[in-house]
């Protein structure tokens, strides 16, 4: 019987794993408790950093490049990033179903586009 329960549990785990979506991120970011607000900001900053590093690894970030959605100025602050992403998701409801890191890229790109000719 124990073997059956272990096998059933092992099969159920992959079925419960789901992508963290833009809608999930927005729900997290609308919560008012300190832990949720910190988690929201940390996710957005981490996703932005990961995207930046990926672009850097495939060709650099010294100017607009294919796939580079945003260019953050050095003075950009955490709350500005969070506000940009939340506004983008609110203004574009279809983004709620996208992967959360994609929503971050698109939201930051709207507020912090790369300058052409840089």
Interval 53-108: pLDDT, tens: 777 666 655 554 455 678 888 899 999 999 999 999 999 999 999 999 999 999 99
Q: What percent of the chain has pLDDT over 70?
A: 71
Packing angle of the helix pair 22-30, 78-91 (nearest 10 deg): 120
C-beta separation of 100 from 60 below 8 A = no
Could you tell me the pTM of the whole model? 0.74
Domain positions in the chain are 19-111
C-beta separation of 108 from 71 below 8 A = no
The highest-level CATH class for domain 19-111 is mainly alpha
State the Cα–Cα distance between residues 114 and 26, nearest whole angstrom. Answer: 24
């Amino acid at each position: 019987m124990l073997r059956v329960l272990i096998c059933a549990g092992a099969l159920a785990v992959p079925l419960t794993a789901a992508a963290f979506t833009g809608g999930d991120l927005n729900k997290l970011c609308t919560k008012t408790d300190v832990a949720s607000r910190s988690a929201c900001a940390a996710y957005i900053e981490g996703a932005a950093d990961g995207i930046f590093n990926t672009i850097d690894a495939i060709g650099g970030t010294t100017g607009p490049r294919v796939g580079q959605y945003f260019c953050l100025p050095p003075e950009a602050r955490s709350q500005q990033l969070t506000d940009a992403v939340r506004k983008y998701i609110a203004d574009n409801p279809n983004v709620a179903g996208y992967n959360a890191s994609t929503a971050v890229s698109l939201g930051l790109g709207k507020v912090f586009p790369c300058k052409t000719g840089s």
